[in-house]
């Protein structure tokens, strides 16, 4: 019996080392075209979304005056500083579904005179409107990012949206521009990005694509360009794989009447009825979530192909202005507030999705992760005075080097990550060249068990130096907590070798790596 056991053990050891040897001898070949770069990765792909939902605005960005942290008014400055660090380029507000029940005139002027409303979309809580237009635009000014405002098509009127634009953007003499001045802002805000409704196929009015297309044209006709501000109007686009919605909008709405068409897609770990825990999940659930995240590639390709039929010059942007993983809320929290923890799985999903956007930046020119603070796949979680940065935040920190850089095309055949009888690509990647000529490669290893060797040559590029950063955890369920806020954070990565213009890299299991090559 001992002999049999010994032989089995020896066989397993040999198999293990043969497997390691095989991987080492057969690295994945990655080819990057360093000379052809015609497409810029628009920085607004790295945008974010903040809705009047749960603790995103109230008790997130906008805190009680008694809380003992650095503030400007009631704006929480540690969050502002964190978002400045990652060069957050764009912030979408006030929704989401909330946008189509929000009347902007409720949120201007003295806070004591603002009406109280009911947020019927998210928990039937009282909306006191203390955070309104001026507060949002002060927030974006502090961060140094572009505001993206979603207008009310569901319960609003073209006149209401037109008035909001005039209030914000007109520098001449009118009752609305004078009202803005009386409210403390003499110069126009010059807000360019405007969503004409939100999810008009669902919470924004349950419209058909033909009916919405007509509504869009009606609203857009009254959204005026005031001197100094040209509007970038974004039509409410499809829910996931509703390709008919995209087809109808592109067919019915002239391309010169919209800057972009939106797309919403959420990674649901286990379906709408039971989305699964944010922190307690099996490898099977992890595998399923990553596979669903990868569906974004197909969505972008197919919606882009439809858009190409009507807009071959790619003037209309595909705007994925809601994306991310959506799980069950944390136990003991309000189900309507959508508060979830953020694990290493979320970081893998964020990095994978951003790689997809980078690789399709000829059409995808704006995207917004849902949502920035305390809601869904948040960058920041707060608990009174405490604040932590999630693994997803660190992905955006690592990937900011792609903003406004030239996209580089790459080709490779990824090895498989296999779970039982199912397979998905283990590796995904994107690359760019910045204005100083440095090349950045972002690599994701979705496989939680094995490292993967990658070999690449940069023909036509003289390599002088290489540096790297890595985001890694031992377990896909690992999280940052208020007790251990830095449990998962970027570290220096140096598991690579240079040989002339060739680079060999070993990407650890369950990791995100960004290389800088000069």
Show Cβ contacts of residue 139 under 8 Å, excluding neighbours closer than 6 positions.
Answer: 61, 75, 80, 91
User: Residue 230 maps to which CATH number?
Assistant: 3.20.20.80
Residues 322 and 430 grouped into a single domain = no
Residues 389 and 434 grouped into a single domain = no
Domain boundary among 388, 405, 422: 405
Q: Looking at the domain assignment, is residue 289 inside a domain?
A: yes
Show Cβ contacts of residue 127 under 8 Å, excluding neighbours closer than 6 positions.
Answer: 52, 116, 117, 118, 119
Residues 305 and 418 grouped into a single domain = no
Structural domain span for residue 421: 27-37+408-517
- Of 51, 199, 273, 297, the catalytic one is 199
Helices (H), 75-186: 77-85, 133-143, 158-169, 175-182
Residues 453 and 333 grouped into a single domain = no
Residues 359 and 421 grouped into a single domain = no
Residues 266 and 189 grouped into a single domain = yes
Residues 510 and 436 grouped into a single domain = yes
Q: CB count, 10 Å around CB of 16?
A: 10
Residues 249 and 359 grouped into a single domain = yes
- Of 101, 322, 421, 483, the catalytic one is 322
pLDDT tens-digit series, residues 353-378: 999 999 999 999 999 999 999 999 99
Residues 299 and 429 grouped into a single domain = no
pLDDT for position 259: 98
Residues 316 and 429 grouped into a single domain = no
Q: Looking at the domain assignment, is residue 260 inside a domain?
A: yes
Residues 399 and 253 grouped into a single domain = yes
pLDDT for position 20: 43
Q: Looking at the domain assignment, is residue 2 inside a domain?
A: no
Domain boundary among 390, 405, 420: 405
Closest CA to 455 of 425, 476, 427, 488: 427
Active-site residue flag, 385: no
Give yes or no for a cis peptide into 96 (omega within 30° of 0): yes
pLDDT tens-digit series, residues 79-117: 999 999 999 999 999 999 999 999 999 999 999 999 999
The helix-helix angle for 175-182 and 158-169 (nearest 10°) equals 60
Active-site residue flag, 322: yes
User: Residue 428 maps to which CATH number?
Assistant: 2.60.40.1180
pLDDT tens-digit series, residues 379-392: 999 999 999 999 99
Domain boundary among 354, 372, 405: 405
The number of residues in the chain equals 518
Q: Looking at the domain assignment, is residue 19 inside a domain?
A: no
pLDDT for position 460: 79
The answer to whether 377 and 342 are in contact (CB under 8 A) is yes
Q: Name the stretches of the chain with pLDDT < 70.
A: 1-25, 269
Beta strands (DSSP E) in 303-379 are: 317-326, 364-370
Residues 75 and 178 grouped into a single domain = yes
What is the number of structural domains in the chain?
A: 2
């Amino acid at each position: 019996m001992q002999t049999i056991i010994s032989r089995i053990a020896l066989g397993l050891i040999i198999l293990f080392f043969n497997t390691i040897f095989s991987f080492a001898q057969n690295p994945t070949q990655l080819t990057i075209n360093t000379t052809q770069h015609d497409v810029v990765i628009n920085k607004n792909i790295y945008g974010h979304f903040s809705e009047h939902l749960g603790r995103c605005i109230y008790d997130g960005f906008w805190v009680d005056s008694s809380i003992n942290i650095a503030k400007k008014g009631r704006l929480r400055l540690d969050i502002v500083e964190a978002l400045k660090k990652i060069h957050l380029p764009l912030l979408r507000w006030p929704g989401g579904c909330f946008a189509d029940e929000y009347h902007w005139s409720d949120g201007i002027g003295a806070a004591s005179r603002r009406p109280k409303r009911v947020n019927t979309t998210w928990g039937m809580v009282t909306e006191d409107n203390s955070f309104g237009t001026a507060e949002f635009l002060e927030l974006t000014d502090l961060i140094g990012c572009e505001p993206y405002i979603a207008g009310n098509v569901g319960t609003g009127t073209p006149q209401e949206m037109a008035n909001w634009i005039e209030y914000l953007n007109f520098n001449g003499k009118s009752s609305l521009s004078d009202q803005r001045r009386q409210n403390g802002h003499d110069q126009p805000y010059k807000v360019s990005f405007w969503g004409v409704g939100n999810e008009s196929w669902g919470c924004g009015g349950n419209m058909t694509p033909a009916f919405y297309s007509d509504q869009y044209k009606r609203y857009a006709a009254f959204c005026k360009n005031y001197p100094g501000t040209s509007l970038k109007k974004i039509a409410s686009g499809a829910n996931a794989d509703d390709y008919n919605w995209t087809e109808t909008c592109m067919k019915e709405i002239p391309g010169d009447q919209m800057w972009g068409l939106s797309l919403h897609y959420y990674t649901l770990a286990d379906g709408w009825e039971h989305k699964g825990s944010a922190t307690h999940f099996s490898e099977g659930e992890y595998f399923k979530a990553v596979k669903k995240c990868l569906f974004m590639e197909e969505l972008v390709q197919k919606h882009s192909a439809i858009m190409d039929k009507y807009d071959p010059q790619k003037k209309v942007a595909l705007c994925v202005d809601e994306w991310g993983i959506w799980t069950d809320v944390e136990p003991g929290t309000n189900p309507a507030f959508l508060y979830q923890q953020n694990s290493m799985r979320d970081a893998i999903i964020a990095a994978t999705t951003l790689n997809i956007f980078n690789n399709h930046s000829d059409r995808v020119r704006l995207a917004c992760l849902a949502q920035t603070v305390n809601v869904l796949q948040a960058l920041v979680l707060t608990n009174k005075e405490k604040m932590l940065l999630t693994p997803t935040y660190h992905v955006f920190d690592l990937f900011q080097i792609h903003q406004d850089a030239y996209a580089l095309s790459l080709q490779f055949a990824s090895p498989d990550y296999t779970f039982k009888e199912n397979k998905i690509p283990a590796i995904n990647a994107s690359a760019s060249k910045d204005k100083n000529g440095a090349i950045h490669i972002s690599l994701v290893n979705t496989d939680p068990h094995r490292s993967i060797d990658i070999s690449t040559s940069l023909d036509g590029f003289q390599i002088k130096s290489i540096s790297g950063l890595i985001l890694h955890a031992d377990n896909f369920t690992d999280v940052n907590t208020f007790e251990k806020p830095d449990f998962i954070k970027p570290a220096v990565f140096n598991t690579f070798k240079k040989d002339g213009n060739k680079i060999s890299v070993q990407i650890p299991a369950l990791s995100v790596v960004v290389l800088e090559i000069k």
